[in-house]
Homo-oligomer: A and B are copies of this chain.
């Protein structure tokens, strides 16, 4: 029983997911596609030799009874409506971040899913499927290191273009830490504060880069995250968890170890796509497998998407005030505790 996908949005990320469902993963098939650019949608069918219908819009694609699951890879502001329509039709949804561009929007999806009565939605926070983070979580959950007290993280990109804005540092960059860190320590955020260090000479004039964010949780954990998007040297994701009995860090990306020109060195990635390439495969494979085995996805939920939206909003407020901004979630539906 193959999981049949309808893809909404055939841009770069959409094509990558189509590629992995078609040529790398097991148990899934793309049977329908749509894009506001219809030619793009048709080209994708041809490019990947799909046996798939091309639809004029998300509504008609969702209505196709041969479609089991909607893969939402459209423009961010369009996500919310497509996800709500899919839930309305009782279809599974894998939605790339953001689930919605506002906290209210994300909450409306949570409410629709709760009303539906069964999990349908998974949000594309792929880091939870990275082996390093998975091992960190296993170690934390084993209690072998005692309770986590602090996290020291860094999210570094070699460079960003002119279109990159101050808000994107939160919505597109920090967002990955926002999701993965509360999952890692199984706790909820209470506040976030932005701090602006000296600007690198490589930052464009409209941008503050680097930035430091300090998140605190209900349990008192303090999290420092450096966001540095013109760090020049590579794409580098760091996470150190300081616990009562010891500390743990993400593994370095494996690389051959060379001795040359008076240096002992390993490689640092420069292309972000390489860093989580297995995680992208794993998140979609898990979506397929979980639905085939249990009838529900088991990855990041709509509630996680809501947490990300609320926390991002607070982060952006703090970029303006440089004050500690509270993060207040509404009550978590019991639905998401199972």
Contacts and interface: CB of A to CB of B under 8 A. Distances in A.
A212 B224 contact: yes
B234 A262 contact: yes
Interface stretch (A214-222, A298-306, A326-334): A214-222
Interface string A198-218: 111110000000101010100
19 contacts: A26-B26, A135-B255, A135-B256, A145-B260, A150-B226, A150-B228, A199-B220, A226-B242, A233-B246, A233-B260, A248-B258, A249-B258, A251-B255, A251-B256, A251-B266, A252-B264, A259-B268, A264-B267, A264-B268
B262 A267 contact: yes
A21 B221 CA distance: 44
Interface string A127-159: 000011001100100000111011010100000
Given A150-B197, A197-B221, A224-B224, 19 more contacts: A132-B256, A135-B256, A147-B198, A147-B200, A149-B200, A195-B222, A198-B221, A199-B220, A201-B244, A231-B242, A231-B247, A232-B244, A233-B247, A236-B259, A249-B256, A251-B256, A253-B254, A263-B265, A264-B265
Given A26-B23, A210-B149, A254-B252, A247 B259 contact: yes
A22 interface: yes
Contacts of A242: 154, 210, 226, 228, 231
User: What is the total number of copies of this protein in its complex?
Assistant: 4
Query: In which size bucket is the chain A interface?
Result: 35 or more
Nearest to A195: B222
Nearest to A322: B324
A257 interface: yes
Interface of A: 22-27, 131-132, 135-136, 139, 145-147, 149-150, 152, 154, 195-202, 210, 212, 214, 216, 219-222, 224, 226, 228, 231-234, 236, 242, 244-270, 285, 289
A231 B233 CA distance: 28
Contacts of A264: 252, 265-268
Contacts of A263: 233, 263, 265-268
